[in-house]
Amino acid sequence: MIRRMRQVIVAANWKMHTTPADAGELAHTIAARTRESGVIRVLCPPFVCLAAVRDALEAPDVAAPDGQGVAVGAQDVHHEPAGAYTGSISAPMLAGLATWVIVGHSERRRDAGETDELIGRKLLAARASGLRAILCVGEQLEEREGGRAAEVVERQVRECLAGADPGQFGTDGGLPWLTIAYEPVWAIGTGRTARGADAAAMADLIRATLGALGFPARGEEIPVLYGGSVTSGSIGEFLAEPAIDGALVGGASLKPDEMAAIVARAALTATARAGRAAG
């Protein structure tokens, strides 16, 4: 029996690190050291490094044995296709540079005042331009300590997707148009991680919310990643949870050794899932 299987994804968020002079070499090194079948790899460098990373990833020695290359993602996108928006980058401008995009990262919610409503518009802009979106959600420390984490994440998912047609955000060629990254804000860059079981509970809640919004298969096709201080040491705890489909990695994603170990661990999960799906 062939059962539905969600892809395992490791996405690297390089944040405001690397320059056009060094990003290509780093991307190539990471890609060449993460050639594992069954894992979708996505590198998200700063905008100005997208071309260098794209070019570096065209090298023949970065494809995994299953033929999968490494995708390039942007870290943000404007909600309008063009206009008087100084300093911004629109989805159509990313054509040929990126095929994925992160939207709603907590650092942009914090630094650029992005709201769920605005993030929802960015999701639609990304989809309209054929970019696969990684939507970030996650609670603040005081929200978790106040017992409101679930309520906050559910609201973020609902409000960010309020204007989306669920039928447009399924999968295409096995790849999802929407991936959700659960990134508790208190775990980002702090060395503190959520517990695997707590992240899995949040992934279940996210899928239940997608189901309530009318997503096909009650949201079961949408990958949910964990993000927040993921390293080679902590990835196993998250991937041991069937509800978690991979990671959005920050600091550790700039380190080839870390990425090699993280993707190798992700490949074990991908292999186990493929075995179960076929068995």
- Is residue 95 classed as helix, strand or coil in its secondary structure? coil
- Spatial separation of the C-alpha atoms in residues 19 and 60, rounded to whole Å: 23
Which residue's CB is nearer to ligand 13P, number 14 or number 177? 14
- Select from 179, 209, 229, 234 the one that contacts ligand 13P (CB under 6 A): 229
Q: Which amino acid is at 34?
A: T
Which residue's CB is nearer to ligand 13P, number 76 or number 273? 76
Supply the residues annotated as catalytic.
Answer: 105, 183
* 261 in contact with ligand 13P (CB under 6 A): no
- Select from 24, 73, 227, 246 the one that contacts ligand 13P (CB under 6 A): 227
Q: Two tokens at 247? A: 């990671």
- Select from 54, 203, 250, 267 the one that contacts ligand 13P (CB under 6 A): 250
User: Could you give phi then psi for residue 274, rounded to 5 degrees?
Assistant: -65, -40
Q: How many angstroms separate the most distant Cα atoms in the chain?
A: 55
In this chain, which stretch among 29-37, 150-158, 164-172, 222-230 interacts with ligand 13P, using CB under 6 A?
222-230
Helix (H) or strand (E) run with residue 145 in it: helix 141-145
Buried b (16+ CB within 10 A) or exposed e, 97-120: bbbbbbbbbbbbbeeeebebebbb
Per-residue mark of binding to ligand 13P, 124-163 (x: CB under 6 A): ----------------------------------------
Residues that bind ligand 13P (CB under 6 A): 13, 105, 183, 188-189, 227-230, 248-252
